[in-house]
């Protein structure tokens, strides 16, 4: 009897998780299409293919639903594993990290999620702060720690590794991210990203690499 109850619990848990993901997928589309203010719980229920009653079982209001979407976006971003192995050489790490970082930022749909968070951050500062800390600050910290290891090895001369990490990430965005986020152009091609990242890498190394001899 205990085993049967356990099986039933697992099945119900799976159904609950599937329904929640169904709601989040529908809500994400509505928020991206209409923005936070334009989205209604009724519209979200229709997009998710559930009743409003079912929607309120999972989420008390639109704010809680939006927070759940932000949390899911952060989890998705954290699945992207940037390689900051301290044993890897700096130029290779810069190029590969820059390419992966910009492809993540400028992926289809990604811009809409960022725009939506930016638009609501003033009204819901805790959501904006948490998104920044979990999706961006963690990456900056890991990158800065990698740079610090190479400073200690006398390969780089960087007085402020946190600043240098942010500088490189901003240089990689040049001519790509703002055009994408404001829908002035479609997501950049991998080839175009590689060109911009290569330029950023050269500038970074010119400023911070210790010259031989």
Q: pLDDT tens-digit profile of 74-89?
A: 777 777 779 999 999 9
Whether 142 has a pLDDT exceeding 60, the answer reads yes
When pLDDT is averaged across residues 113-140 and rounded to a whole number, the result is 86
> Is residue 132 in a domain?
yes
Does 50 share its domain with 87? no
Domain interval for residue 48: 2-59
Whether 91 has a pLDDT exceeding 70, the answer reads yes
> Contact at 8 Å (CB) between 135 and 74?
yes
> Domains in the chain: how many in total?
2
When pLDDT is averaged across residues 168-191 and rounded to a whole number, the result is 95
Question: Whole-angstrom Cα distance, residue 15 to residue 9?
Answer: 10
> Is residue 120 in a domain?
yes
pLDDT at 113: 74
pLDDT at 122: 87
Question: Whole-angstrom Cα distance, residue 113 to residue 128?
Answer: 12
pLDDT tens across 4-62, in order?
Answer: 554 444 444 666 788 999 999 898 888 888 888 889 999 999 999 999 999 999 999 99
Does 102 share its domain with 140? yes
Higher pLDDT, 134 or 10: 134
One-character DSSP codes across 3-25: HHHHHHHHHHHHHHHHHHHHHHH
Task: Report which of 51, 57, 9 is spatially closest to residue 26, judged by C-alpha positions.
Answer: 51
Q: What is the DSSP letter of 189?
A: P
Note the Cα 165 to chain centre separation in Å: 17
CATH number at residue 37: 1.10.10.60
Task: Report which of 83, 213, 58 is spatially closest to residue 139, judged by C-alpha positions.
Answer: 83
CB atoms within 10 A of CB 176: 20
Does 82 share its domain with 160? yes
> Is residue 65 in a domain?
no
């Amino acid at each position: 009897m205990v085993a049967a109850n356990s099986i039933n619990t697992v099945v119900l848990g799976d159904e609950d998780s599937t329904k929640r993901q169904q709601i989040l997928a529908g809500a994400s589309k509505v928020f991206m299409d209409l923005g936070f203010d334009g989205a209604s719980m009724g519209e979200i229920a229709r997009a998710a293919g559930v009743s409003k009653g079912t929607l309120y079982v999972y989420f008390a209001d639109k704010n809680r639903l939006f927070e759940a979407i932000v949390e899911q976006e952060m989890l998705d971003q954290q699945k992207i594993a940037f390689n900051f192995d301290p044993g890897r050489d700096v130029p290779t790490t810069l190029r590969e990290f820059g390419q992966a970082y910009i492809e993540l930022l400028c992926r289809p749909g990604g811009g809409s999620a960022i725009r939506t968070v930016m638009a609501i951050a003033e009204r819901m500062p805790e959501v904006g702060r948490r998104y920044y800390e979990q999706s961006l600050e963690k990456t900056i910290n890991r990158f800065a720690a990698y740079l610090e290891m190479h400073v200690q090895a006398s390969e780089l001369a960087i007085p402020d590794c946190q600043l240098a990490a942010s500088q490189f990430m901003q240089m990689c965005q040049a001519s790509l991210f703002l055009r994408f986020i404001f829908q002035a152009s479609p997501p950049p091609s991998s080839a175009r990203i590689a060109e911009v990242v290569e330029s950023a890498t050269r500038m970074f190394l010119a400023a911070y690499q210790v010259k031989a001899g």
